[in-house]
Chain A
Amino acid sequence: MRHEQAYEDYVQLRLPWLRRVAYLLCQDWHRADDLVQVTITRLYVHWRKAAKADNLDGYVRTMLLRVFLGEKRTGWGSRVHLTAEPVDRPAETADHETGLEVRAALRDLPDRQRATLVLRFYLDLSVTDTAEALRCSEGTVKSQTARGLEALRRNLIVRES
């Protein structure tokens, strides 16, 4: 069935990217995989519409964001079983410690601020596109970005001290 094949091809191709974005949003690989699982299930349900989108990646990215933010609203995370054991970690890199520091500082941010930073600086979305993805005004994106960066700097200073 060509629709299913197209769906499967797309998901397999973009799975690493989806997992990375999900991880940046939630800062936990277990939850990231749960977020992706829910997202690609919804994507399957809406595949016909999604496949016609001008920007399929953007469509899926927005879905993932909705799942992440919706999870926080509904307490979904508390109802989804997560494995107890940590997954195998990737090999350490030269700046591993710095990465962990930044990651920990990111984790301390409120969800919407973190999501704003991920959209703006990892996915390189414009203010306009970020506002659309988060369903808020451009002014809110700008203020969330400024506050998020300020909080990030503050968190990093606290961790270094």
Chain B
Amino acid sequence: MDTRELFGDVDGELPPSRVDVGLAMRDGQRTVRRRRVVASGTAGLAVLAVFTAGALITQSGGLPSAAVPGAGQGAGATPGVVAADGSMQVPERLDPLVRYAGWGWLPPGLSSYRATRSTDVVYMLLADKVTFRMHAKFRKPPGATTPAPDVNHRTAMWLDMGSQTVSLYWQLGPDAWAGVSVDREFAGSEAQGKEMALRIAGAMQFGPGQRLDLPANVPAAMDGMPLREIMVRRTPDSPSQGSSFTPWSVSVEYGPSVAVVDPPAPSTQLIRISIMPYLPVHAEKANTTVDGFRAATGADPGASASWLNVYDVSGYTVAIDLKHKPENVATAVFRQLTFRPYS
């Protein structure tokens, strides 16, 4: 046996790849972002992360309680998607500050939660096994479809999204769609996945829009740029997650409106504000102060990025990331925020 020829035949034609370089970059961006915040700004910021922080889901029905302290307090009603006559009226531009829908029924065993709200789409994900999407008007989901049983007397269809996911879309109103996707393996089989998706979709609750209850005031615009995305994450406590574990965080992003799943274009101006519970480990490498608070600041000229982390602000760590913006904007952004004390 010629040992060096052992592996020769692997050099032939490769089977189709499932490797997703874009996904690797987005996941990597999240990790970079999280590490930098936890390590007090020691790592370079390549691109602003896609999401952070969270909300607590109740599985007993009704809208999820807010992810952050003081949930439900001061959250006033705003225009939702249900008209006075009971019909659905989804706007062409969603308000990221509004919670339009809530879970009515969920399968057990899903504890971590994240939600992303932009002007185009709302994503609510449970442990990456169940996903709800609500698109702004005229954003019909693409792809091959087959008919599905109606959801609450509304037209529905199965969307072909690959073998790993069962995806159900149904029509909320004229030119307005919502969808529920279920991980097929989590459900047990495709048939069980479809059953689960139909049950979740049928129980989804829409109604008067609730203003999100956030730990800080969130202006509709910052430094001339509109609010384009709010991301919330909540991860259940676990003994293995260590002293730097942050159970929830909220991130607010200002910049041009883009599809939420796409990474920002390299030259896009962005401001991201991330808020999470303060932990002493965050401030270990503070190198300055801002308005009397310990802070860390840094820049990555190659990426046209800079950041400012401010620690123990009413019990929070506040991380401000800038892209293609002057560094001093971060301090101005921080001074525009007021925080509700976290206890």
- By a beta-carbon cutoff of 8 Å, the part of chain A in contact with chain B is 1-4, 7-8, 11-12, 15-16, 19-20, 23-24, 29-30, 33-34, 36-37, 40-45, 47-48, 81, 83-85, 87-91, 93, 95-96, 98-99, 102, 106, 117-118, 121-122, 149, 152-153, 156
Q: A41-B27, A118-B7, A156-B1 are in contact. Are A81 and B14 (CB under 8 A)?
A: no
The closest CB in chain B to the CB of A2 belongs to: B302
The closest CB in chain B to the CB of A87 belongs to: B15
Chain B interface size, under 10 / 10 to 19 / 20 to 34 / 35 or more? 35 or more
CB of B238 within 8 Å of the partner chain: no
Min CB distance, B188 to chain A, in Å?
A: 13
Which parts of B1-50 form the interface with A (CB within 8 Å)? 1, 3-4, 6-21, 23-25, 27-29, 31-32, 35, 44, 46-47
Q: Which of B1, B15, B266 contacts A1 (CB 8 A)?
A: B266
The closest CB in chain A to the CB of B303 belongs to: A1
CB of B185 within 8 Å of the partner chain: yes
Q: Is the CB of B47 within 8 A of A81?
A: no
Chain A interface helix/strand/loop/mixed = helix
- A5 CA to B44 CA in the complex, in Å? 16
Min CB distance, B21 to chain A, in Å?
A: 5
**B185 CB contacts on chain A under 8 angstroms:** 81
**B336 CB contacts on chain A under 8 angstroms:** none
Q: A44-B28, A83-B163, A90-B13 are in contact. Are A30 and B18 (CB under 8 A)?
A: yes
**B20 CB contacts on chain A under 8 angstroms:** 37
Q: Is the CB of A1 within 8 A of B183?
A: no
Min CB distance, A53 to chain B, in Å?
A: 17
- A36 CA to B24 CA in the complex, in Å? 10
Min CB distance, A89 to chain B, in Å?
A: 6
CB of B152 within 8 Å of the partner chain: no
- A37 CA to B9 CA in the complex, in Å? 23
Q: Which of B3, B24, B32 contacts A37 (CB 8 A)?
A: B24
Q: Is the CB of B18 within 8 A of A87?
A: yes
Q: A8-B25, A15-B17 are in contact. Are A3 and B46 (CB under 8 A)?
A: yes
Q: Is the CB of A91 within 8 A of B12?
A: yes
- A89 CA to B14 CA in the complex, in Å? 8
6 A-B pairs closest in CB distance: A44-B28, A99-B9, A90-B13, A122-B7, A33-B18, A41-B24
